[in-house]
Structure 1
Amino acid sequence: MTTMTADRPAAAAVPGGAVPGGAARPGQNFLTAPFAARTWREQGYLTLVLLLAPFAFTYAVFAVSFTAGIAVTVVGLFVAGAVVAGGRGWGGVYRGLARDLLDLDVAVPAPYVRPRGFWHTIGSLIGDATGWRALLFMFVTFPLAIAAFVTSITFLGTGLGGLTYWFWYRYLPEQVGADGAMHRGAQFGDAYFLDTPPRMALAALVGLLLLLCWPWVTRIFVLLFRVLTTALLSPTRASLRVAELERSRTGTVEDADARLRRIERDLHDGTQARLVAVAMQLGEAREHLAEGGDVAQATELVDTAHSSTKEALTELRELARGIHPPALDNGLGVALETLAARSALPVTVDVDPGVEADGRLTPALESIAYFTVAELVTNAAKHARASGVYVLVEATGGDASGSGSGSGPGSRSGGALRIRVRDDGRGGARVVAPDGSGLRSGLAGLAERVRSVDGTFDLSSPVGGPTVVTVTLPTTSPSGPA
């Protein structure tokens, strides 16, 4: 369906909640790795982390000891809380280093929001999980930074030194060996000096091997930093879920408010105006009859009022159908069959008999499923140049996870309702921003509505088609809520 050009991507990640990750890297040759820009950026990262480590470690230790020591006071808890929250700033510094030098794009945790109330504020500051996780990162990475830099720079320095030893050994001071002779060069033990061509060649060979191993030793330590950065400095699953629910709830409330305003406007400008006209026409007819006027004219006024009344009733039915389709009173399957019969395109509907078994579907879920299919079928008819639409509605098991945007419902005892709508149109469907009216129509509205009940929304629409939209909605198990 190539509609949906006026929608916001429903699959957009929650602000500050992107899943951490890094850019994919092609494999590097063992011989050229020491000269790769990536290797030197990683060595630069280890160097900068080492420079930050003593200050970060001191801050982390101070935060723990100060918080414990100041807990006997009340006002001091604000200062301790500010110190804990300051860990967020340190986390931002480390995320910036990882992004700039390691190409590791870690999502930013949700910003701190101060709650109302004195004790709530103190508790939120002292218990700021993001701040404490950053402090833990600073504490854990202190010994790792020292070990990583020392090991890495040892491989690099020794490798370069051994590879160039044949050149600079002559500037070393002479020493007396165990044999009583003077030797110039590096000494190992009492009598082993690197002052002969074979031994210098051996030093160069060892240096070359150390230099070739240096990028991979560096990479091992960088991998540990990447894991720790992703684990401790990114948003937790719980915080991502909370942010997603808050965003979904806000969008749902705004959507509902906009729809109510639209219904109010339609009633005011349409049905109400017709009913006012009917009242005026009936009043005029009554005056004609009361004054003994022309009965034919009064009858004409009544006929006009009668026609206006029927038009008003039609408008009211359309408005009511937009709120709750009467066909849903007989179940989702019947409602979808009725929708298919009224569609401008041939629509094939396949509904799993188990969908409506044992009261799995609540009225709200039926309504979301119905309007989802209705919107997608309308889009296919208006924009996709499709010759037909296939709708599949089926009940799934406990695993209701989906691959689409939005947060999946996860594993549920009652399973899920899966809706797949496929058309053979020209494809190229996408979700873009709304027009600013406040009403999320099209795919953005569908995705917001689906996420409001903890569902998933997935769109696959390559250019040339076909377009397949898969919606997964959590359902209710026969034994209770899912």
Structure 2
Amino acid sequence: MTAVTSDQQDAVPRPDDTPSGTAPDSPAPGVPGATGPAGTRRDPRVVDRHEPVAFLRAPFAGRTWRGYGFLWLALLLAPFAFAYTVFTVSFTAGIWVTVVGLVVSSALVLGGRGWGSMYRSMVRSMLGADVAAPSPYVRPRGFWRTLWGGLGDATGWRTLLFLFVTFPLAITGFVVSTAFLAVGLGATTHWFWSQFLPLQQTSDGSWHRGASFGTDWFVDTPVRQLGLVLVGMVFLWVWPHVTRAVTYLFRVLTVALLAPTLASLRVADLEESRGRTVEDGDAKLRRIERDLHDGTQARLVAVAMQLGEAKEQLASGSEPTDALALVDQAHASTKEALVELRELARGIHPPALDNGLAVALETLAARTPLPVTVDVDPAVEASGRLAPAVESIAYFCVAELVTNAVKHARASGVYVLVERQGTAPGGRGGRRDRARLRLRVRDDGQGGARVVQPGADGHRSGLAGLAERVRSVDGTFELSSPVGGPTVVTVLLPTDV
């Protein structure tokens, strides 16, 4: 790494890439595509609200019994759902040649969305998993478009596939779970209810009362009763995990077939983020126009008036001292206008970026009142210049985060890491991973930072604006800022846009 520091570099601690005691990879709220612990990517379509249950408490936990209730309800609904699916497919295939029949088939396919909503509600209330709903159906204009739009509704057909696949799963899962529960309860209470069983005679003529295994082996002695109780306890403690495994399969199928696809989520997210980026661009242009009109333009108008007045005084033969004073005022106003223009230009495109990202960050560190340490991976510069949009976003991300550390975090130093990732061969067929630029900005301030999404008044935090700008180029933005600090922000950007 090459180090680029401000004059007070020695005051900045050099933390490890992943600081201890924090969770730098926790996703920022409202930012899809964030990664979870150990780099595992979280599915943005589902949020698990369940807390882990200890093994010894599992048979008595409400989560276990809600899962078993889910299996009961799924079993009751499965025959009707399966019949609906079979009828929809067979009716559509048989009535395909008639227009009226296609109208009914279109309605049946769209009706699958209602089944999907019901199962998502069951999963949310009984399994503790919030599964995202797919985009609502938008009826196109025109009879034929409406007809084919309903018949081709992918969400409806995926729901019908879910109803078909879960029919055998509901029956098998319920039977297996109930068998474990029944065996466990029966074995642990056998010592009590076995006294009401009828007497049975063995081959040697003796009589016994109790559960029989084979023809001559009965559980009717204290030792055997105790052994059966122990076996029943094993079944009772295994039963929650069997139930949880079956309900987990239901949840996986619900996410896979009843939630929006990852591609559709990504498209919607990119459309939203790029729409907001366009809005931000328009707002910036309006701000520049306002600054030029109210500031620089007004100052240049004043300069023109001062020079015009000085010209009139010189033409009239007045004392040159008054004209010289006016020229001095115009000269000072011109210099102030130049400063304002430079500031506006720097906000649009920092001149330091003309010499590369490393030089721009070096300039930023030197101008910051807070000690800033920047480590730039030599591979970033060795691989050539980045795309201009990526360099600009990376620079403004670091600048905004450093500014936040100065104004709000009460930090004593900032550490910035810039490195290149994803250049090693990998994937199928020896393909190379997409190269990415990784930024990690850490300050030792008071923490508590969060991403504030736009509210009713349209106001949002600067971090939300950064997240939108990063997502506009298919990047990821991750924030970890526990109360008390430190604040760690990780940004991944594609090297080419």
Partner of 2:153: 128
Distance (whole Å) between structure 2 residues aligned to residue 205 and residue 338 of structure 1: 77
Q: Is 1:198 matched up with 2:216?
A: no
Check 1:227–1:425 CA distance in 2 against 1; reply closer, same or farther (3 A cut). Answer: closer
Alpha-carbon shift at residue 78 of structure 1 (Å): 4.7
The question of whether the paired residues in 2 share the 8 Å contact of 1:429 and 1:461 is answered with: yes
Q: 1:85 aligns with which of 84, 87, 110?
A: 110
Q: Residue 27 of structure 1 corresponds to which residue in structure 2?
A: 54
Gap regions ≥5 residues in structure 2: 1-26, 34-42
Match of 1:99 among 106, 120, 124: 124
Aligned position for 1:213: 235
What whole-Å deviation, never above 9, does each CA across 1:231-271 have from its counterpart, x for those lacking one?
A: 32233221221222122122212221222222122122211
Distance 1:102 1:51 in 2: 17
**Structure 1 Cα separation of the partners of residues 387 and 60 of structure 2:** 63
Q: 1:379 to 1:224 in 2, by over 3 A?
A: closer
Q: Does 1:338 align with 2:363?
A: yes
In the TM superposition, residue 426 of structure 1 has moved relative to its aligned partner by: 3.0
- Report the secondary structure of 2:450's partner residue: coil
> More displaced, 47-56 or 286-295?
286-295
Compute the displacement of 1:52 (Å): 1.1
Q: Per-residue CA shift, 1:355-389, capped at 9, x if unaligned?
A: 23454401111111111111122222222233332
Give 5+ residue unaligned stretches, structure 1: 1-8, 402-410
Task: Give the 3-state SS of the residue equivalent to 1:383 in structure 2.
Answer: helix
* SS of residue paired to 2:409: coil
Cα distance, 1:127 vs structure 2: 2.9
Determine if contact 1:417/1:473 at 8 Å carries over to the other structure. yes
Deviation string for 1:60-80 (max 9, x for gaps)? 112222333344345654543
Matched residue, 2:163? 138
My pick for the range that moved more, 449-458 or 73-82, is 73-82
Tell me the distance in 2 between the aligned counterparts of 1:357 and 1:21.
43
Deviates more, 1:368-377 or 1:378-387: 378-387
Aligned residue for 1:272, secondary structure, equals helix
Q: Which amino acid in the other structure matches residue 355 of structure 1? A: V
Given that residues 380 and 386 in structure 1 are in contact (C-alpha distance below 8 angstroms), is that contact kept between their aligned partners in structure 2?
yes
Report the residue type matching 2:220 in the other structure. P
Percent sequence identity is 64
C-alpha contact 2:362 2:374 (8 A) present in aligned 1: yes
Q: What amino acid is the match of 2:475?
A: G
SS in 2 for 1:247: helix
Residue 420 of structure 1: which of 424, 428, 440 is its match? 440
What is the match of residue 471 of structure 1? Answer: 491
Pick from 340, 347, 353 the counterpart of residue 315 of structure 1: 340
**How far apart, in 1, do the equivalents of 2:180 and 2:374 lie?**
67
What is the distance in 1 between the residues matched to 2:332 and 2:51?
68
**1:414–1:226 Cα change, 3 Å:** closer
Q: State whether residues 209 and 220 of structure 2, in contact with CA within 8 Å, keep that contact through their aligned partners in structure 1.
A: no
SS of 1:390's partner is: strand
Matched, 1:459 2:479: yes
Mapping for residues 263-274 of structure 1, pairs under 5 Å: 263-274=288-299
Native 8 Å contact 2:210 2:220 kept in 1: no
Superposition pairs of residues 69-468 of structure 1, within 5 angstroms:
69-74=94-99, 76-114=101-139, 121-153=146-178, 156=181, 163=190, 165-166=193-194, 169=197, 198=220, 209=231, 213=235, 215-216=239-240, 217-398=242-423, 413-434=433-454, 438=458, 442-468=462-488
Q: Could you say if the C-alpha distance between residues 203 and 77 of structure 1 is closer, same or farther in structure 2, counting changes exceeding 3 Å?
A: farther
Q: 1:202 Cα shift?
A: 7.4
8 A Cα contact 1:10 1:443, kept in partner: no
Is the 8 Å Cα contact of residues 258 and 439 (structure 1) preserved in structure 2? no
> In structure 2, how many angstroms separate the alpha carbons of the residues matched to 1:95 and 1:62?
22
Query: What RMSD over aligned residues (CA atoms) do the two structures have, in Å?
Result: 4.0
SS of corresponding position for 2:220: helix
Q: Equivalent residues in 2 for 1:54-73 (5 A)?
A: 54-73=79-98
- Residue-by-residue CA offset, 1:98-153 (whole Å, 9 max, x unaligned): 22222233232333344567665544433333222221111112222233334444
Q: Distance in 2 between matches of 1:393 and 1:188?
A: 72
In 2: Cα distance, 1:159 partner to 1:440 partner: 55
Describe the shift of the 1:266–1:122 C-alpha distance in structure 2 as closer, same or farther (beyond 3 A).
farther
The aligned amino acid for 2:69 is G
TM-superposed CA distance for 1:90, in Å, is: 0.9
Give, in whole Å, the separation in 1 of the partners of 2:154 and 2:135.
Answer: 11
Give me the whole-angstrom Cα distance separating, in 1, the residues matched to 2:411 and 2:100. Answer: 68
Give 1:341 deviation, angstroms.
1.7
Contact 1:418 1:472 in 2 (8 A): yes
Residue identity matched to 2:112: G
Letter in 2 for 1:427: G
CA contact (8 A) 1:165 1:203 kept: no
1:298 shift after superposition: 3.3
* Greater CA drift, 34-43 or 464-473: 34-43
Structure 1 residues 30-66: Cα deviation after superposition (integer angstroms, max 9, x where no partner): xx75554344323321221122112211211122223
- How many residue pairs get aligned? The number is 450
